[in-house]
Structure 1
Amino acid sequence: RFQKCEYAKLKLFKTEGRGWGVLADESIKAGQFIIEYCGEVISWKEAKRRSQAYENQGLKDAFIISLNGHESIDATKKGSLARFINHSCQPNCETRKLTVLGEIRVGIFSKQDIPAGAELAYDYNFEWYGGAKVRCLCGAAGCSEFLGAKSRGFQGVRKGGGVKSCET
């Protein structure tokens, strides 16, 4: 399903106080591939530069995730519906890195059965290296209250991590 871009049926919606979100428009089984996280592949240095530029522009919703130790995916200006999947401290989805024809790609997979109409969410696994703390709005029981609070603390620029790897 990944190589053929056979995505689950999804629906974009406006959340209460958390911007855009993504709903399952069909039932999704545990472990199922949902959608690829697409965007522009850029260097880690460029990701840091863009992140700062987006912040200076007042852009609150930047969609940059870490691909590996030296590259990131920036889906801020172009990308798939996956960029609108919100964070949760108790997610029903997870990210996985896959190598497809020698190229690293990122997919969103379900961690559990997800009924039609449920909002999709994954743990962003942010690491912060300075700047303002970002309050977590997931509302889950046991919420960490801030994005990145469970990582190495608030020490600098943001980076999405925690992407599992596998081969196809």
Structure 2
Amino acid sequence: LQVKEIEGKGRGVVAARSFYRGEFIVEYAGDLIEILIARERESKYNLSSAFGCYMYYFKHNNKNYCIDATAETGRLGRLVNHSRMKPNCKTKVVMVKNVPRLILVATKTIKEGDEILYDYGDRSKESILAHPWLAL
């Protein structure tokens, strides 16, 4: 995988080789935190334009989780961009030592040079008003 500047989006991730349907691409790595802490962090991030917000909320086995990948690290999963219309991968929960982790897996063949994209799934009116690209 390679990080590239994507016109109109900022940083994004492109395939440095082909990936096939069902193949692991990258982990969405960050701090696994409780929902209350996630909401507090999200409020703090929203107050400053210096931060992006890389919070991924999910439910697994009837329990709510959040992975906060806001901190700049060398981990690339946090830089994968959104596409509601043309995603080529999706998130999947895997358990590692009884801890849920999120990975991205290809939903179709991805060619070398293609941008890696998944649907963030946020359809709330407030989010789309604040981030019109969520509708794309």
Q: State the distance in 1 between where 2:24 and 2:30 align.
A: 18
Tell me whether 110-119 or 58-67 shows the greater mean CA deviation.
Answer: 58-67
Residue identity opposite 1:70 in structure 2: N
Q: Which residue of 2 aligns with 1:83?
A: 78
Deviations along 1:90-140, whole A, 9 cap, x unmatched? 200100001122111111000000000000000001254746531117xxx
Q: Distance in 2 between matches of 1:136 and 1:97?
A: 25
Which residue, out of 100, 112, 117, partners 1:116? 112
Paired positions, count: 130
Match of 2:133, SS state, is: coil
Pick the structure with more helix per residue.
Answer: 2
Q: List gaps (5 residues or longer) in structure 1.
A: 1-9, 138-143, 146-168
Pairing 1:104–2:104 present: no
Q: For residues 32-86 of structure 1, what are the alpha-carbon distances to aligned partners after superposition, in whole Å with 9 as ceiling and x for unaligned?
A: 0011111011111111111111110124621110143432110100452010000
Change (3 A) 1:70 1:129: farther
Where does residue 3 of structure 1 map in the other structure? none
Instruction: Give the superposed CA RMSD.
Output: 1.9
TM-score normalised per structure 2: 0.86
Which is bigger in relative contact order (C-alpha 8 A, separation at least 6)?
2
- The alignment's TM-score, normalised by the length of structure 1, stands at 0.70
